[in-house]
Amino acid sequence: MGFVLLWQTSQTINFAQGEFVMLPAFFVLAAMKFGGLSFPLALVVGMLVSLIVLGVLFKRLVVDPILRHGVLPLVISTLGLAIVFKEGVKEFYAAEAQSFPSPWGSASLQIAGAAVSVQSLAIIAVAIVTVGLLQWFLHGTRTGRQMQATAQNPTLARVLGIPVERMILYTFLVNAALVALASFLVSPIYLAKFTNGELLGLAAFVAAIVGGFNQVRGAIAGGVLLGVIDNFVAAYWSAQYRAAIPLFLLIAVILWRPQGLLGRAEERTV
């Protein structure tokens, strides 16, 4: 969703998105380790720092100065930023994986003979609530509609009196909040490690392309589809080929439906 939002409002393809998901977990761990904060308080601090660093500072220091030179320099810059974040965590925090507390423990429930973990249910619930809130914000509020107008036609939006720059900043803040939330949900399972972004970034990028890079619902559908296929392939076919399947899917979509499964074809003057 973050990929799509940034692309829609500011034509930013953020190849550091995976590292953006990796980093907030370390903000939380640092707040607990160096600040002596409790886990809930550290989560709040982690979210705030993410909003500042991955939202405001990312836009002001990286995107704004570079985007005027075109999309390609920005893509290269975000690739560089990914390396900086990764090596920074490795150098200044740890090269080893770190345990990240789970707010839901490791209990599981028996549902129709299957063991379903409370953690998985909580993650699904948080994801559904987040998507619902985001959809409501984008479609049901004045600010959300202004953000959509900015995404569709920034020049016309500016003529209509919409504060385009502020709307773009809001998008970066929404993206920062989403990556922080993803980080807090996934780190108890994956453990917090500086390399986590490589896998997550690739998976999110492929999911956004498969679903449709210009539709939030497309990105969501792409993510769900990719996750289900990945796990079914690993469980019932071959764990060795699981990493290749999303890439096959990506190639197939690019060849036969380049706008993505739920995306719409766009025409641009180049």
Partner 1 sequence: MKANWIGAALLVGALAAHAQESVYMPIVIEVSGNGAVSGTNFRDGALMAIDEINAKGGILKHKINAPVSDTQSNPGISRAQVQKAIDGNPYVILGPVFSGSVKVNMVLAQQAEIPQMTGAEAAEITQMGNDYIFRTSFGQQMSMPKMAAFVANGMKAKSVAFLWVNNDYGKGGRDVFFKEMAARGIKIAADVSTESGQVDFAADIVKMKASNADVMFIYTNEEECARVLREARKQGVKQPIIGETNVISQKVIDLAGETAEGAKGHVGLTADAPIPAVQAFTEKFQKRYKYVPDHNGIKGYTAVYAVKYATEKLGKFDRKALAKSLHGMTITPAQEPGILIETTWDAHGDIDRISFLVEVVKGRQKVVEILPKLGK
Nearest distance in Å: CB 124, partner 1: 13
| Residue 254, number of CB atoms within 10 A of its CB | 12
- 3-state DSSP call for residue 242? coil
Q: Distance between CA atoms of 128 and 224, rounded to whole angstroms?
A: 12
Residue with Cβ nearer partner 1 (242 or 257): 242
Nearest distance in Å: CB 9, partner 1: 31
Interacting residues of 116 by C-beta distance below 8 A, sequence separation 6+: 108, 109, 110
Nearest distance in Å: CB 85, partner 1: 15
Nearest distance in Å: CB 101, partner 1: 8
Residues of the shown chain interacting with partner 1 in the complex, contacts defined by CB under 8 A: 90, 95-99, 105-106, 108, 110, 115, 117, 119-120, 188-191, 193, 195-196, 199, 230-235, 239-240, 242-243
- 3-state DSSP call for residue 193? coil
Nearest distance in Å: CB 47, partner 1: 23
Residue with Cβ nearer partner 1 (197 or 222): 197
- Which pair of tokens denotes residue 108? 């599981």
Residue with Cβ nearer partner 1 (188 or 263): 188
Q: Give whole-number Cα distances, 217 to 27, 182, 254, 262, 265, in Å.
A: 29, 17, 18, 7, 15
Residue with Cβ nearer partner 1 (199 or 225): 199
> Beta strands 108-111 and 114-117: pairing type?
antiparallel
Q: Which amino acid is at 20?
A: F
Residue with Cβ nearer partner 1 (134 or 226): 226
Can you count the helices (H) and strands (E) in the chain? 12, 2
Residue with Cβ nearer partner 1 (240 or 269): 240
Q: Where are the beta strands (DSSP E) in the chain?
A: 108-111, 114-117
- Contact predicate 181/27, CB 8 Å: no
Residue with Cβ nearer partner 1 (67 or 229): 229
DSSP state letter for 108: E
Nearest distance in Å: CB 123, partner 1: 11
- Contact predicate 4/216, CB 8 Å: yes
Nearest distance in Å: CB 200, partner 1: 9
Residue with Cβ nearer partner 1 (98 or 143): 98
Nearest distance in Å: CB 96, partner 1: 5
Q: Distance between CA atoms of 135 and 137, rounded to whole angstroms?
A: 5
